[in-house]
Structure 1
Amino acid sequence: MSEIVTLAIETPIEPASPPEEWHRIAEDTIVTRDGAGLPKSLFRDDAWDVEAYGNSDGGHNVHFRDHAPSTARVSIVEISKRQWKQVMYFLMHEAVDEMPAPSTIRNQMAILRSFVYFAAERDMTLYEAVTNVRPVLEFAAEKGNELKAQRLHAILVHIHRLGPTATGLQVQLKRLQEPMLAAFGGRQGGVQYPVIPTRVYQHFLATCERELAMVEAAASSLEEQLRLAYAGAQLRPSAELSSAAEYFGYHRLDSLLLSSVLTEVYTLCQVLILAFTGMRATEASHLPYHCLSIAREQGVEHYVIEGVTTKLSGGREKRARWVTSHLAVRAVKLAQRISGVAHSTYSSRRYQDSTDGSHLLFCRFGLVSEYKSNRGASGIGDYIDNLRQRAFPLITQEDVAELKRIDPHRAWEAEAEFAVGSRWPFTRHQLRRTLALYAHRSGLVTLPSLKRQLQHITAEMSLYYARGSAFAKSFLDLDKKHFAQDWDDAQGLSEYLAYAAQVLFSDERLFGGHAAWVQSNSVKSSPVSVFSREKTIAMFNKGELAYKETVLGGCASVEPCKSSPLNWLPLECLEKNCKSLVIVPSKLARVVKSQERRVETLESVAGDSVEYRMEKQALDSLVAAQQKATCQEPQ
């Protein structure tokens, strides 16, 4: 627990009245310091300067105001403000080992302001409301307060751990714990961010890729116009830039509208980075200018984005890395071209190699507001709805049915924002969970176009984020909030959903060793069989069951495949009727037709070759399996 340090002042300030029993922090206690370690804000100040503790998009100060209705008694207003300050001091200096990042401080300030206001409406101070329990539970039970209740609970846990002697506040955690957990507990299963349905997701990614190509074609003119705007000269946009501006809804370009176009581009680039890394929006906002590394191994390029995460050690920044795909790489390079013009115009430092946060990838470029090399671009959040209108289609019944398959316990029809005919209610938070579920080789994604879009990132995450990989051990074990943890946690659900759609509830009669086992009466009648969703997901999570899509259907083996990696067709499994084999007749039929064409072509040009004989043998095995399956069809 840190020591309370006070400033020596020449003229002591006498309190208007003796200190209350709950007073713990003196008025002249130093609360924050500047970058040089010198005192910046005192406890008595109504605004605390937190600039020195990390990047923040909300300005230098946090303010203790707007915490009570105009009808509240003056004594309630003043006492609650001091108690609010006191709790914030404990959260900043006593409850954690290091000063939290500004974003964490602002979140805590916002939750406490909301609760203090709630208490003042009931003629209670902050400490009175917490001690009496009932106001806390009423606050948590209000509709729409699930997230606030969760964050308030976390604050109260911190204060409870410090104890009443240190804080002057007796938190009734035993009485609060169970009802508060119930108030926001459903959020994990029912109100968490939805997975974007595959059709909607594919449309979104295709639109973003098309927009990225459009802006890339106009990038040189965009850079030139930004330089002209900095110089106060008249803009001369190219035809490509004018067309892109029209697409975004801007029919002419001056410095003000150019700022809007640049923010549209920033928004597009940031969303693509989120979509293909799984990082959080705050992490993307504070990526350093030089954040991209590309390595080539055995002819294959691997992309890694390096930045910081603020989800560790009370929100303090830590180095973090994410594997990514070529679309995100293009987005990074486009953002670098824009911010590079700003950095080169205003900054004397070499920004190209900046990795310390002094020069950001998404900086404030200085057309409307002041240029800030180390501050995240303002306004991106306001432009997200523009992107939503362009990139997200209207919800169909098919989309709702897919949502029900992913989360059957959520009442989707009761939520108006997911009604058929509504535009998908996109938020950036959805991208993390969506990528975590779809970027697996489970076969869950069936749309060919979406498979192509996710092919590279799926391969990279399987290589880098799989348990036991050197990357995982080096970078992920230290960060339990890294996206790789979400990806790993989602693997069981991803495999189950693919398994359920392709095996358990297939419209076709399946064949193979595993299919026969699933369709046996003993399995179907068992209450703990694979037809139990909860049981099956648990089996996937424990490694007792696995599923991977193959060209013939699927494989349910939990062990590494022993077939030759040179054989793209699992003929050995087919011939031996492997116990893990799942054969889908329609897939087998497509493979047979493709193999027949290949054999026919080889026979016409090299009928006596070894290659022809091998391919003919493979065809014979496939046809034999097809005939055997046909014989087993019910008459």
Structure 2
Amino acid sequence: MTAVKATEQINTHTGVRYATGIGFDFHSPDPKFVMTYDLNNQPLSYFESDWWDYAAYSPNASGNYKCWFKKDTASLDEFSQTLLLEHKLIVAAFQFNIFSPFQETPSASQIKNASRVLHKIRKICIDTKNKISSTLSNPLKLKPIIKQLTTHDQKTLKSLLMTLASANSSNFIAHFNIGETLPLFKFSKKENFQHPVIPSRILFEKLLSYQEVLDDYFKFEKEIAQVNSLSLLCHSYLTEQTYDYDVPSGVKKSGRGFQKIIFEFGLFDLAKKYNIISPINLSNFLGKVQYCSMMLIVAYTGMRRSEALSLKYDCMSIKKRKYGRIRHIIGITTKLTKTRFETSWVTCSQVVPALKAAQSVCKLIANSLYISDENLNSFPLFISRAYLTLSVVNSRTGKRDIGDYKVGALQPRKFEESMRQVLITQEDLEELTEVAPFQDWNLDGLYSIGENWPITVHQLRRSLAVYAAKSGLVRHSSLRRQLKHLSVEMSLYYARGSSRVRSIFNPSPDHIIHEFSKEKLAELDSILYIRDVLMRYEDVHGGHAEVLKTQGLYAGTAITLSDKKKTMDDFKKGKKAWRPTFLGGCTSIDGCKTVAHPTLTKCIVGSGCNEAAILPEKVDTAISMQNKLISVLDVTSIEYRSEVAQLEDLMRIKEEISE
């Protein structure tokens, strides 16, 4: 396959081109096969390259995302060259995701981590004189290597092996014997925890604490901007030694120029509350403002941390509706497609102060870089504070392109220690146990009574999913769109425990839930139904097929505009419904009675469901995915027998609809 042909085999969704691997030959790889592209959609890395750069596929389209295979120029012996080729082929298989039983495409950071772990294994293989493939497929060889890896690297390697589930010597370089190697990976209960739902009281307390920081910032926003401007003009004025100023009674004079600035600009109350005694402390406070803004945006949108950090200065869109304004945050995700894809998250008015605070700090940093306000729209919203003259290390090194600036890390571990603590009570612990009764919340004392709640960004995301599902106003398909999941099943996993969690909803007219109401989604559901069912050229099967026959609607029947309008009207009036499923769709108006226990075959077991619409192409896909899943399970396990039973149901329905 030539380089030109490789370039044609790409995913051309909006965003950067992504090599899909179509036409890639794992037994005889083309050295010129394009592995990655740059932001201009030009080939960046080829299979023969010493490194593959995935930066363009990260949410920020920047940073070090290079997978190095060979850094030195020294020639390799024949065995080392074999290991190098294996390293590249396994990374390529991980990137293309064609041997995996799961649909989700790995992110840029996941690919880099997988390559990094393979690099460690490759070094061990050089010493042991074993191939990487034979090492990863042999439990006796793999077990001692696993013991040398950190827990994080073990999880990375396990995920990598699972993506090679259906690989074998005919379609790849080896069969990886997953059934025997995966049991070698054993993690403690703590490491298998799902991110907890934040108890309702603690959630509100945390959100209030973040808002408190923003309120304090807004009180002194003008004065802080003046200090920032002064720092640009004469930074030494902020740091010089001087006693030529007055202090209030009871306040000790430090002799530092910055104490003088605090009193000159009326920042004493802010400095006292947040211990601001130097320009660096003020810069740290601005970082705290950024962090609190990000946490509130995540809480009210369900974004991932990387998606929040990808936001630009001008990232809000407002649409007018009869019940008020609906706000969307525009950002970048890499989850719904294999590219950096612009998308939006519906949100509410509570996010506006957080966005304004982040924009205000962003403008301060832009001023330090002499960037005018009219050029701010595409500027990173959470740009790093390293560019401030107030910071200990100023990174202003001349003019750059807007996209070259780094964003702040904004990690909870850096900022939560100085936030107002929210201590766990007995009632909070009881609520935790109600949501997840089978988890040991006393493990390691992290969630003990009297301890500060150990918040993470992902907890906010899962809490939104659970509380939204609890409200009864947000359907799983809507939750999937909001959380940018590839499947409804992942959203169901996030929302586990929603039936037991306490409701927090008493919505105002402009609240987020209105975007998810039945009335607003009816039109979308009707469009999907018309496309997937009424306009098909192949027959629909299942219980709903009989309904279509009574209406005279057969495969290939011409659908008029009036038919479409009537269908849409029936959906809006609640007379019809459509929810996509693994095997087709559900037409139940009242909702699926077995939704609390979702399985692949819930629509077809026994005599089947009268309201199920079975689509043959989805059955074929489900069978393929089920076979891949079964291939990685322990044949002696209950899960294996359960999944085999589902596969048998799928094969039965395939035979029935093929007759």
Q: TM-score range by the shorter chain?
A: 0.5 to 0.7
Aligned to 2:220: 218
Aligned to 1:313: 337
Q: Tell me which amino acid in the other structure corresponds to 1:400.
A: L
Q: TM-score, structure 2 length as denominator?
A: 0.56
2:177 to 154, 157, 172: 172
SS of 1:223's partner is helix
1:361 aligns with 2:381: yes
Number of residue pairs aligned between Structure 1 and Structure 2: 452
Compared CA separation, residues 90 and 278, structure 1 to 2 (3 A)? same
Larger CA deviation: 228-237 vs 122-131 = 228-237
Tell me how far apart the structure 2 counterparts of residues 52 and 396 of structure 1 sit (CA, whole Å).
45
Higher helix content, 1 or 2: 1
Tell me how far apart the structure 1 counterparts of residues 31 and 271 of structure 2 sit (CA, whole Å).
54
1:64 aligns with 2:93: no
Deviation at 1:397, TM superposition (A): 3.9
Aligned to 2:203: 201
Compared CA separation, residues 196 and 141, structure 1 to 2 (3 A)? farther
Deviation at 1:201, TM superposition (A): 2.2
Tell me how far apart the structure 2 counterparts of residues 98 and 348 of structure 1 sit (CA, whole Å).
41
Aligned to 2:305: 281
Q: TM-score, structure 1 length as denominator?
A: 0.58
Compared CA separation, residues 496 and 24, structure 1 to 2 (3 A)? same
> 1:273, 1:331 within 8 Å by CA — same for their partners in 2?
yes
1:129 to 131, 135, 138: 135
Q: Tell me which amino acid in the other structure corresponds to 1:218.
A: F
Aligned to 1:261: 285
Aligned to 2:94: 91
> 2:470, 2:501 within 8 Å by CA — same for their partners in 1?
no
Tell me how far apart the structure 1 counterparts of residues 435 and 467 of structure 2 sit (CA, whole Å).
11
- Superposition map of 1:216-615 within 5 A: 216-231=218-233, 233=235, 234=237, 239=265, 241=267, 243-244=269-270, 246-253=272-279, 256-298=280-322, 300-314=324-338, 316-343=339-366, 345-347=369-371, 350-351=374-375, 354=377, 358-364=378-384, 366-367=387-388, 368-369=394-395, 373-374=402-403, 377-382=406-411, 384-439=413-468, 465-466=474-475, 472=478, 476=481, 479-481=484-486, 493-498=497-502, 541=596
Q: Tell me which amino acid in the other structure corresponds to 1:494.
A: S
Deviation at 1:158, TM superposition (A): 3.9
> Rg bigger for which structure?
1
> 1:396, 1:421 within 8 Å by CA — same for their partners in 2?
yes
> 1:195, 1:430 within 8 Å by CA — same for their partners in 2?
yes
1:152 aligns with 2:176: no
Compared CA separation, residues 38 and 301, structure 1 to 2 (3 A)? closer
Tell me how far apart the structure 2 counterparts of residues 538 and 98 of structure 1 sit (CA, whole Å).
28
Tell me how far apart the structure 2 counterparts of residues 100 and 423 of structure 1 sit (CA, whole Å).
34
Tell me how far apart the structure 1 counterparts of residues 361 and 284 of structure 2 sit (CA, whole Å).
13
> 1:281, 1:428 within 8 Å by CA — same for their partners in 2?
yes
Aligned CA RMSD, in angstroms, stands at 4.8
SS of 2:326's partner is strand
Tell me how far apart the structure 2 counterparts of residues 488 and 170 of structure 1 sit (CA, whole Å).
32
Compared CA separation, residues 466 and 166, structure 1 to 2 (3 A)? closer
Tell me how far apart the structure 2 counterparts of residues 135 and 244 of structure 1 sit (CA, whole Å).
60
Compared CA separation, residues 123 and 320, structure 1 to 2 (3 A)? same
Compared CA separation, residues 119 and 435, structure 1 to 2 (3 A)? farther
Higher relative contact order (CA 8 A, sep 6+): 2
Deviation at 1:497, TM superposition (A): 4.2
Tell me how far apart the structure 2 counterparts of residues 28 and 266 of structure 1 sit (CA, whole Å).
44
Tell me how far apart the structure 2 counterparts of residues 25 and 325 of structure 1 sit (CA, whole Å).
50
Q: Tell me which amino acid in the other structure corresponds to 2:175.
A: Q
> 1:23, 1:168 within 8 Å by CA — same for their partners in 2?
yes
Compared CA separation, residues 540 and 293, structure 1 to 2 (3 A)? same
Deviation at 1:193, TM superposition (A): 1.0
Deviation at 1:263, TM superposition (A): 2.0
Q: Tell me which amino acid in the other structure corresponds to 1:173.
A: I
Larger CA deviation: 124-133 vs 26-35 = 26-35
Compared CA separation, residues 64 and 361, structure 1 to 2 (3 A)? same
Gaps of 5+ in 1: 8-21, 68-72, 443-461, 500-536, 544-635
Compared CA separation, residues 101 and 154, structure 1 to 2 (3 A)? closer
Gaps of 5+ in 2: 8-25, 239-260, 389-393, 504-591, 599-659
Tell me how far apart the structure 2 counterparts of residues 288 and 340 of structure 1 sit (CA, whole Å).
12
Q: Tell me which amino acid in the other structure corresponds to 1:399.
A: D
Larger CA deviation: 291-300 vs 328-337 = 291-300
Deviation at 1:362, TM superposition (A): 1.5
Compared CA separation, residues 493 and 337, structure 1 to 2 (3 A)? same
Tell me how far apart the structure 1 counterparts of residues 285 and 352 of structure 2 sit (CA, whole Å).
21
Compared CA separation, residues 42 and 394, structure 1 to 2 (3 A)? same
> 1:46, 1:64 within 8 Å by CA — same for their partners in 2?
yes
Deviation at 1:436, TM superposition (A): 2.1
Aligned to 1:523: none
Larger CA deviation: 412-421 vs 132-141 = 132-141
> 2:287, 2:410 within 8 Å by CA — same for their partners in 1?
no
> 1:24, 1:166 within 8 Å by CA — same for their partners in 2?
no
> 1:288, 1:307 within 8 Å by CA — same for their partners in 2?
yes
